[in-house]
Amino acid sequence: MIFLNDCRIKSPLEGTYHQLSPKHLQAYCTEVQFRYNTRNLSNQERFDKLLKQCECRLKYKDLIKDKSLTLF
């Protein structure tokens, strides 16, 4: 069991995402980390940074596979 005590982690979980599976926990935490680390950038600057960091295309069928998902 993982306890999410930090409001930076809990707030998006309660607002945007309504449930979180262990399968996607690392991707969720990575997203929260990225948002926190780029909190002083404008939305456009954050989007540009995100696009520069993309290395591959993630298809939905690959996302929902049973095997472990490693994005980062």
Domain assignment present for residue 72? The answer is: no
How many structural domains does the chain have? 1
Domain assignment present for residue 30? The answer is: yes
Q: What is the pLDDT of residues 39-58, one digit of tens each?
A: 999 999 999 998 888 877 87
Domain assignment present for residue 23? The answer is: yes
Report how far residue 29's alpha carbon sits from residue 35's, in angstroms, rounded to the nearest whole number: 10
The reply to whether the predicted model has a pTM over 0.75 is: no
Domain assignment present for residue 69? The answer is: no
Q: Residue 36 sits in which domain range?
A: 7-63
Q: How high is the pLDDT of residue 6? A: 58
Report how far residue 8's alpha carbon sits from residue 32's, in angstroms, rounded to the nearest whole number: 7
pLDDT band at residue 12 using 50, 70 and 90 as cut-offs = low
Higher-scoring residue by pLDDT: 35, 62: 35
